[in-house]
Amino acid sequence: MNPQHHLSYDYSPWTFWGSASDEEREAQHDYQKSFAERAGVSIGDRAFLTPLASVDPDYLALGADSFIAAHAYVTGSITMGDDCTINAFTVVRGTITMGDGVRIGAHTSILGFNHSMEPSQPVFKQPLTSKGISIGDDVWIGSNVVVLDGVTVGSHAVLAAGAVVTKDVPEWSIVGGNPARHIRDRRDSASAIPAAGVEAAPDGGLLAGLADFADAARADASAILARSWTSAASGRYVDRPGAVPTVRAHCDAIEIADLLLGSVPSQLSRDEHVSRLQALQDPVTGLAPELGSDTRVYAGDLSFGTGPATYHVLSVGYALDLLGSRFEHPVHAVAGMDAAAVAASLDALPWRKEAWESGAWVDAWSTAAYWNLAQAHPNSPGSLDVLFGWLLTHVNPAAGTWGTPTDDTRLKVVNGYYRLTRGTFAQFGLPVPHVERLVDTVLEHSVDPRYFAPDRQNACNVLDVVHPLWLASKQTTHRREDMKEWAKAQLKHALGRWHPGEGLAFSAAPGSGDQHLPTLQGTEMWLAIIWYLADLLDSAEALGYRPRGVHRPEPALLLPTLQAEAGDIHIASKRTDS
């Protein structure tokens, strides 16, 4: 289990009541009780108040299902209705009144007071004035917004990221800029991302488009899960109606429910979800095979590196993690491989012909090693060190990848890079090598019309570009504008592919057969892709969700940074960014 699992509630408090353990819930109740003993404090049902926030109010009314996240700074007289969220690092001070459904992004300042400006006195000696700030119902306030004293924000308004709001905002208005100005009315039926030549918001309508997309996805989430549940016999999840039940479909359902609803799929209780997934694991190998034709666990031979059981190391492991649980047994098939066996396996992988297959093997192996570490079960001594040492000494410095791109295509090399780095450098919080060459390679691939022209994209190909670019952007500004232009174009296409009540198809290509039909896999993958595309554009907060499973942006575990200098690998300081 993620060693920082408990911190996810402090930073994503809306997930708490849907997935917290009984012990965690009791601790939150105790904290609220002690906090509410102060005069002038009331806390509604299912509210969440993290001890990591600095909350020192004269008066506080926290409505039902409302949350205050880590490192928020809250003082003064604060009234919050139901379903309100103050996100991490946000400042709310002075006399502030919020209606229901107010969502405030990270690093925003709501300042219901001001200094006087009498020139005969220094500013710090000026008396404070306070007119207060009033915010209506159903208001979205993006990240890094500043709202100044005396402002009234009407119901259903949207304050775009970075806006400086100095004047009243009418109901249903979308405002942005410094100082904030009216962009459009939310009820306007115009496209969320306007076509060229149409007067648009400074961000091209991006934030509003993301918010509208996420609202639609959340509204449809329960129906999407229900349509993929087979009620016959014991009940199982299928990728789409008419398909056979699979392990991955169950895991995708858990990921979608966590992402959009902050809960578990309602077809089973949390304990039933955990029990079913844990029962999949073979206690001898630690692998989880596919379901048989009668939906019981297949009892055939299991071997790491072949078949769906290899990917289940990721999907089942992270589904259990989202449920606040873990595999019952270590992944013995990986724990038993000594350093020499790891090196021999890496040498034997088909890097030249099948870079994706090779990257997928590394992804699954390193993820299994992570689950073993999370269970305090030792992997074979030196095996993880050999893995990273081998990778650092076998990367192609000219391309920044493992495997060499050909003149004809970079598809398998780039796609294999995503799988490899997802399970290793990204999952363990380590910087990737030759990052600028990697950016050049991925961007050259990203314009290949065979894979990225309109209506040619599929979830794997877009994910396998956006994740490496996103990961590289944490280390370098090299070609940052090129990254953003590509992300903007792909995001525009992705946001228009939602099928009401059904979700997203794996492939946008009309001729791709069943892959063009909405599925759980397509929905789960594209939701994560859209988050990464939006985050490259500094706009992901507008979605109101953040992947926490297989596609989580934060490292699952931080290791000491491995650096290669003059052929030697040594331990450096821990990396703390994601």
Distance CA 32, CA 47 (A): 9
Distance CA 514, CA 523 (A): 14
Report the DSSP beta bridge partners of residue 473: none
Q: Are 84 and 66 in contact (CB under 8 A)?
A: yes
Distance CA 448, CA 188 (A): 36
CB contact set of 129 (below 8 Å; sequence gap of 6+): 113, 114, 115, 116, 149
> What's the pLDDT tens digit per position in 107-119?
999 999 887 777 7
Find, among 57, 114, 53, 116, the residue nearest to 87 by Cα: 53
More confident residue, 119 or 3: 119
Please tell me whether residue 518 adopts helix, strand or coil conformation. strand
Residue 194 has pLDDT above 60, yes or no: no
Please tell me whether residue 330 adopts helix, strand or coil conformation. coil
Q: What's the mean per-residue pLDDT of the chain?
A: 88
Q: What backbone torsions phi and psi does residue 36 show, to the nearest 5 degrees?
A: -75, -10
**pLDDT at res. 396:** 95
Query: Amino acid identity of 296?
Result: R
Distance CA 354, CA 366 (A): 19
Beta carbons within 10 angstroms of residue 536's beta carbon: 21
Report the DSSP beta bridge partners of residue 93: 75, 111
Give first-to-last CA distance, the chain, whole Å. Answer: 18
In the block, tokens 């081998």 appear at 390
Lowest mean pLDDT among 97-101, 232-236, 479-483: 232-236
Rg, the chain, Cα only: 25
Local structure of residue 475 (DSSP, 8 states): T
From the centroid of its chain, how far is CA 423?
Answer: 16
Domain ranges of the chain: 7-189, 228-328
Distance CA 430, CA 170 (A): 47
Residue 122, CB-side half-sphere exposure with 13 Å CA sphere:
2
From the centroid of its chain, how far is CA 276?
Answer: 25
More confident residue, 563 or 274: 274
Distance CA 178, CA 169 (A): 14
Q: Give pTM, 2 decimals.
A: 0.69
pLDDT (average), residues 525-548: 94
Residue 289 has pLDDT above 60, yes or no: yes
More confident residue, 124 or 359: 359
CB contact set of 50 (below 8 Å; sequence gap of 6+): 9, 10, 13, 68, 69, 70
More confident residue, 45 or 3: 45
Q: What backbone torsions phi and psi does residue 327 show, to the nearest 5 degrees?
A: -60, 145
More confident residue, 253 or 189: 253
Q: What backbone torsions phi and psi does residue 267 show, to the nearest 5 degrees?
A: -70, -25
Dihedral over alpha carbons 280, 283, 285, 290 (to 10 degrees): -10
**pLDDT at res. 176:** 87
Q: Are 361 and 424 in contact (CB under 8 A)?
A: no
Is residue 332 among the annotated active site residues? no
Residue 198 has pLDDT above 50, yes or no: no
Local structure of residue 238 (DSSP, 8 states): B
Q: Are 576 and 22 in contact (CB under 8 A)?
A: no
In the block, tokens 């232009």 appear at 485
**ω before 170 within 30° of 0 (cis)?**
no
Distance CA 180, CA 389 (A): 51
Q: Could you write out the DSSP letters of every residue in 241-305?
A: TTSPB-HHHHHHHHHHHHHHHSS--TTS-HHHHHHHHHHTS-TTT-----B-TTSSBP-S---TT
Query: What number of residues does the chain have?
Result: 578
Lowest mean pLDDT among 216-220, 232-236, 407-411, 473-477: 232-236
Surface-to-core class of residue 540, CB atoms within 10 Å of its CB (0-12 exposed, 13-18 middle, 19+ buried): buried
Residue 39, CB-side half-sphere exposure with 13 Å CA sphere:
1
Q: Provide the angle, in degrees to the nearest 10, between the axes of the packed helices 520-536 and 459-473.
A: 30
Dihedral over alpha carbons 90, 544, 488, 397 (to 10 degrees): 80
**pLDDT at res. 202:** 53
Q: Are 459 and 506 in contact (CB under 8 A)?
A: yes
CB contact set of 295 (below 8 Å; sequence gap of 6+): 233, 234, 236, 245
**pLDDT at res. 474:** 94
Q: Are 200 and 176 in contact (CB under 8 A)?
A: no
Which listed residue (115, 182, 499, 516) is catalytic?
115
Distances in Å between the Cα of 302 and the Cα atoms of 202, 213, 222, 246, 371 are 55, 41, 35, 17, 18
Q: What share of the chain is helix, strand, coil (3-state, %, to 5)?
A: 40, 15, 45
**Percent of residues, the chain, with pLDDT higher than 70:** 90
CATH architecture, range 7-189: 3 Solenoid (2.160)
CB contact set of 353 (below 8 Å; sequence gap of 6+): none
**pLDDT at res. 191:** 39
Beta carbons within 10 angstroms of residue 257's beta carbon: 23
CB contact set of 329 (below 8 Å; sequence gap of 6+): 281, 283, 286
